[in-house]
Amino acid sequence: MSAIERKAIEAAQGGEAPVPEHIAIIMDGNGRWAAARGLPRVEGHRRGVEAVRRAVRAAGELGVKYLTLYSFSSENWSRPKSEILDLMNLLRRFVREDLAELHKSNVCVRIIGEREGLEPDIRALIDECENLTRGNTALTLVVAFNYGARQEIAAAVRRIARDVAEGRVAAEDITPDMIGQGLDTSGIPDPDLVIRTSGEQRLSNFLLWQAAYSEFVFLPMHWPDFTREALETALAEFRGRERRFGGLEAARR
């Protein structure tokens, strides 16, 4: 029985409304939010950073242990150079202005995604975030930056293939757990709940392996409008789901 299943059953037996241990969010709609108001796209991204602050605060207050945010995909590099520059500058500003507060709030920051090829100062910021907050225990904020799930899975498989070729692992001994341990999220429980804003209903190369048994909630609002109330709406829908994990009986009623 997985940790997710066990937690759901314990919550059901105790009669309490379960809080997901791990919530992942695809933060979508910054550009459309700005366009609807006649504003430049960068203003949508700025307002999106404010929504990030609200989401982190609300998740911590509600008792969520892991919050994963899809901040920048490996496909986003195809966007106009000016927009990428704006996004990188917002990242720099976020770290300068928010890292100390996150650390003070006992938040552990973990970055997943490919780091090779990033600007040296961006890699230094990533290292600073992780090193400063490594020992914090209240909420783990996982930031998916330059992240793509297919690339992540391919990298894990390549590592296993090298182990097989060098005789350290037999092909018949490869298990799903072995692949999971090779992913960027090794040591992090799979998300109970995946939320996507803006009304789009797809994963967009986000946590493809980890979301195998996640519940999905798609919210019609754009990300800059995300609030604690929106998070609580998603949680209410999550609590109404019956999670069977492939079995006949619901793990939670």
146/11: higher pLDDT? 146
Q: Is the pLDDT of residue 7 over 50?
A: no
State pLDDT tens for residues 20-40.
999 999 999 999 999 999 999
Across the chain, what does the average pLDDT equal?
90
CA dihedral 215, 218, 221, 224 (to 10 degrees): 50
Residue at 227: amino acid letter: T
Q: Is the pLDDT of residue 70 over 50?
A: yes
What's residue 13's pLDDT? Answer: 41
pTM over 0.85: yes
Catalytic residue (choose from 28, 86, 184, 190): 28
What's residue 114's pLDDT? Answer: 94
Q: Is the pLDDT of residue 196 over 90?
A: yes
CA pair distance 117, 43, nearest whole angstrom: 27
Domain 19-148+191-239: CATH class, spelled out? alpha beta
CA pair distance 215, 243, nearest whole angstrom: 8
Residues 6+ apart with CB under 8 A from 141: 56, 67, 69, 102, 107, 108, 109, 110
Q: What percent of the chain has pLDDT over 70?
A: 89
CA pair distance 51, 11, nearest whole angstrom: 29
State pLDDT tens for residues 131-164.
999 999 999 999 999 999 999 999 999 999 999 9
146 catalytic residue (yes or no): no
228/93: higher pLDDT? 228
- Going by their DSSP bridges, the two strands 66-73 and 107-112 should be labelled as unpaired
- The answer to whether residues 217 and 237 touch, using CB atoms and an 8 Å cutoff, is yes
Sorted by where each begins, the domain ranges of the chain are 19-148+191-239
Q: Is the pLDDT of residue 4 over 50?
A: no
What's residue 241's pLDDT? Answer: 86
What's residue 18's pLDDT? Answer: 81
Q: Is the pLDDT of residue 2 over 80?
A: no
190 catalytic residue (yes or no): no
Beta-carbon-side half-sphere exposure of residue 72 (alpha carbons within 13 Å): 22
State pLDDT tens for residues 200-238.
999 999 999 999 999 999 999 999 999 999 999 999 999
Q: Is the pLDDT of residue 1 over 70?
A: no
Q: What percent of the chain has pLDDT over 90?
A: 79
Catalytic residue (choose from 76, 98, 163, 225): 76
What's residue 246's pLDDT? Answer: 60
Burial string for 112-131 (b: 16+ CB within 10 Å, else e) reads bbeeeebeeebeebbeebee
The region, left, alpha or beta by phi > 0 then psi within -120 to 50, assigned to residue 207 is left
CA pair distance 104, 241, nearest whole angstrom: 35
State pLDDT tens for residues 175-192.
999 999 999 999 999 999
Sheet holding 66-73, edge to edge: 107-112, 139-147, 66-73, 22-26, 193-196, 215-218
CA pair distance 72, 56, nearest whole angstrom: 17
